[in-house]
Amino acid sequence: MPSNPIATLTIAQDLLRCPSVTPADAGALGVLQRLLHDAGFDVHRVTFSEPGTADIDNLYARIGTSAPHLCFAGHTDVVPPGDQAAWSHDAFAGEVHDGLLYGRGAVDMKGGIACSVAAVLDYLAANGGQPKGSISFLITGDEEDVAVNGTVKLLQWVAERGETFDHCVLGEPSNVEALGDTIKIGRRGSLSGTLVVDGVQGHVAYPHRASNPVPDIAALIVALGAEPLDAGTDTFQPSNLEFTSVDVGNPATNVIPAQARAKFNIRFNDRHSAESLQALIEARVQTACGNRIRARVEWLPSNAGAFVTRPGAFTDLVVAAIAEVTGRSPELNTGGGTSDARFITHYCPVIEFGLVGQTMHKIDERTPVADLETLTQIYRGVLQRYFA
C-alpha cells in the first residue's frame, strides 16, 4: 500500500472549497464522510435541533471496536470571511500561492482536520487497515456560533450508544508562533455579570434629597478589584475579574441618576466553579456595600467552566511526537478563550494541538503548506505511539 494514500493538501482544499459559514455545511462533512467510509469507518451523520437555533449537521465516524479509543475532534464550520474584496485570494477557493494555502478555515480548523484524517489514513494503510484499538472522528458544524447543536449533543449521542473515549485530540490552532510551540491542556472558565447599584433620583442642587449611585458603583468597582480571586495554580494563571463598561444612561447634567450598572467578565481557573464564584462575588459586594449602598449582581448563564488535563502519559506521548518531528519542546498552556474542549473534558482527557493560530478569523487566513505536512507527521507519530 502507498504510505500516504491521500495528500493532506488535497483534503484541506476540498474542505476549504465548501463555504461552510455556521450554520451552513455546504458539503464539508460529505468530504470527510466519503474519505472515512472508503477507509472502513462506520460513519454517522447526525442532525441536532433546538428551538430558536438552526438545525446542525454533525459527523461521528469510528473504526475498531476495542480499547484504547483515540478520538480526533474538530469543527468544519467557519466564521464569515468579512470583506471578501479585502482578501488577496478568494476565501473559498483553496488556492496555494508562494507555499501558503489561503482560505477561511485554513487554520481554524479545516487544515487541522485534513492533517488528522491524512495521518489516520496513512496509519491504517501501514497497519493492515485496522488500529490496535479504535480511532474516531467527532466533527461538528456548530462551534463558531452558539454551539448548542454540535459537540455537546454529539458527545451525549455517542454516550447513549454505549461508546466511550479514552483520549481526545482537538485540532484547534493551539500554536502561537511556530508549529510545536504550544499544546493547550486546559482552558479557563468564563462568567459574565452586571453590577447594579440603585440610588434615588433627584436634583443636583438638592443632593441630600437624593442618593447618587455613581460614586457608590465606583467604590464597589475599586473594592472588587482590590482583592485577588486567587493566586493561580501550577497549571493556571490567577483568575481575573475585568470590568468592561459602566453605564448610567443619564443625558442630563442637573439630575442625579436613579441607577448605575457596570458589566464585567471573569476568566477563572480550576480553583472555582461558576457557582462558587457567584457566591464569592456577591459576598464581597455585600461587604463593600455595608448598610448604606443598595447593590446586586445580575449573572449571565455560563456553560464554560475551567478544566485541565493533568500532564502525564498522554501529554508526554504528544510532546514526544512533536519533539521528534519539529525538535521543539511545547509549552503546556491553559490560556486563551474557550473551545469545544470544555464539553469533551466531561468524557475523557482532552488536549488541543493544531496549526499556528496567527491568522485565524482574519482577512487572508492562511497556513504554510509545509505546516500541513508537519502536523500530519506529528499526528502520525501520536498514532504510532498511542497504539504501540
**Annotated catalytic residue 77:** yes
In the complex, least distance from residue 357 CB atom to Zn ion, rounded to whole angstroms: 9
Quick one: 109 or 169, whose CB is closer to Zn ion? 109
- Write the binding mask 120 to 159 for Zn ion: x where contact by CB under 5 A, - elsewhere: ----------------------------------------
Q: Which three cell numbers stand for residue 27?
A: 458539503
Quick one: 57 or 108, whose CB is closer to Zn ion? 108
Quick one: 13 or 339, whose CB is closer to Zn ion? 339
Part in contact with Zn ion (CB under 5 A); list of ranges 40-48, 166-174, 201-209, 362-370: 166-174
Q: Please report, for residues 15, 189, 194, 214, 229, the alpha-carbon distance to residue 241 in angstroms, rounded to integers and kept in the order given.
A: 39, 12, 12, 20, 8
Quick one: 183 or 297, whose CB is closer to Zn ion? 183
Query: Interface with Zn ion includes 73 (CB under 5 A)?
Result: no
Candidates 143, 216, 270, 365; catalytic one: 143
In the complex, least distance from residue 77 CB atom to Zn ion, rounded to whole angstroms: 9
Q: Please report, for residues 182, 240, 251, 370, the alpha-carbon distance to residue 356 in angstroms, rounded to integers and kept in the order given.
A: 9, 26, 47, 12
Known binder of ligand: residue 371?
no
Q: Restricting to residues 97-116, name those near Zn ion by CB under 5 A.
A: 108-109
**Annotated catalytic residue 298:** no
Q: What is the DSSP code string of 254-267? A: SEE-SEEEEEEEEE
Q: Restricting to residues 199-218, name those near Zn ion by CB under 5 A.
A: none
Quick one: 261 or 361, whose CB is closer to Zn ion? 361
Known binder of ligand: residue 90?
no
Residue 35, φ and ψ in degrees, nearest 5: -60, -45
H-type alpha helices, 102-250 = 110-126, 151-160, 213-226
Part in contact with Zn ion (CB under 5 A); list of ranges 49-57, 164-172, 177-185, 238-246: 164-172
CA angle 122, 126, 128 (to 5 degrees): 120
Alpha-carbon distance of 58 to 277, in angstroms, equals: 34
In the complex, least distance from residue 338 CB atom to Zn ion, rounded to whole angstroms: 11
H-type alpha helices, the chain = 8-16, 28-38, 110-126, 151-160, 213-226, 274-289, 313-326, 341-344, 369-386
Alpha-carbon distance of 142 to 146, in angstroms, equals: 7
Helix 274-289 × helix 213-226 angle, to 10°: 130
**DSSP annotation of 78:** B
Candidates 57, 77, 216, 270; catalytic one: 77
Part in contact with Zn ion (CB under 5 A); list of ranges 6-14, 168-176, 240-248, 371-379: 168-176
Quick one: 44 or 361, whose CB is closer to Zn ion? 361
Part in contact with Zn ion (CB under 5 A); list of ranges 170-178, 209-217, 270-278, 281-289: 170-178
* Chain centre to alpha carbon of residue 6: 28
Query: Whose CA is closest to 181, among 360, 349, 378, 362?
Result: 378
In the complex, least distance from residue 75 CB atom to Zn ion, rounded to whole angstroms: 6
Query: Interface with Zn ion includes 365 (CB under 5 A)?
Result: no
Burial status of residue 82 (CB atoms within 10 A of its CB: 0-12, 13-18, 19 or more): middle
> How many residues belong to the site for Zn ion (CB under 5 A)?
3
Q: Which residues are annotated as a binding site for Zn(2+)?
A: 75, 108, 144, 172, 361
**Which residues here bind Zn ion, judged by CB under 5 A?**
108-109, 172
The catalytic residue positions are: 77, 143
